[in-house]
Structure formats: C-alpha cells, structure tokens
Amino acid sequence: MKHQKAHLGTSLVPGGCKDAILSPEDNPGGLPFLLLLHGGGGDRRFLATMQPLVEEAVHNGWIDSMVVLTPSAGKSYYLDYQDGSERCESMIMNELIPQVEADVGIDTDRLLISGVSMGGVGSLCKQLVRKS
C-alpha cells in the first residue's frame, strides 16, 4: 500500500491540517474509506504504525481493500471548540473528507470511523450528514 503525507490548508484549525493517507497501489477509486483517529497528543504518524496491520488484514482477506486517513488533531478530541477558535470536526467532515474523495476517489457511502483513546471518543462524536 502507498503511504502519503498531505496538508490541507484551512481556516478552521490553526496551521491547517496535516494528514496521512494509506491507499492501494492500484487504487481503482470508489473504495471504502476508514477515518482512523489517533489518541491524544498523537498525530498522522499513527497511520504509519497501523500500516502493517491494515496490510495484513487486507492480504488475509479479513477486510476489503480500502483507503485509510489519519488527520493530525493534537488534543482536540476531534471536536469544534465552543468558542469557535478551532473547528476540527467541521474541518474533517466538511473539508478533509471531500478533499480525499476528490483526490483519491473514495466511496463515502462506505465510510468507517474508528480510533484509539481520544480517537475512540472522537469517533463517537462524528455526525455524518449526507448532502442532498
């Protein structure tokens, strides 16, 4: 699988969003998409740590081939701050996922969200609102 680092310029979080994307070398587009959230204090490097497990699971047929994204989110809990100073959830759902969809060709009807520690909490808080 191909591991790439990217940066999304956005005004919703200070400094934009650094992220990492894991996708099959022969990506046909339209693949399932896993938003894999790191724990508190972590960052996009979490995906490199998880890459061997994802590759093994795909290789053994335990999971379908997919695109995996880990955005760096500091200790934000992946939420929008009440004061509006940081809007991590809005950035992920309204800017980052659509950008990955355009760049990599994911199937947002097959969107999975998971994470560890803070990322697990963040995965529980995401509201997936489908645009009509």
Distances in whole angstroms, Cα of residue 6 to Cα of each of 9, 27, 59: 10, 17, 25
Tokens of 115: 């994470």
The pLDDT of residue 127: 54
- CATH label of the domain that carries residue 61: 3.40.50.1820
Residue at 125 is within a domain:
no
Burial, 49: exposed, middle or buried (Cβ in 10 Å; 0-12, 13-18, 19+)? Answer: exposed
Domain count, the chain: 1
Alpha helices, H only, the chain = 45-59, 88-91, 97-104, 118-125
The pLDDT profile of the chain, 132 residues, written as one tens digit per residue, is: 999 999 999 999 999 999 999 999 999 999 999 999 999 999 999 999 999 999 999 999 999 999 999 999 999 999 999 999 999 999 999 999 999 999 999 998 999 999 999 999 888 876 544 444
pLDDT for res 56:
98
Domain limits for position 91: 2-120
The confidence score (pLDDT) of residue 124 equals: 85
- Asked whether residue 102 is domain-assigned, the answer is yes
What residues pair up with 16 in beta bridges, in sequence order? none
| 19 belongs to a structural domain | yes
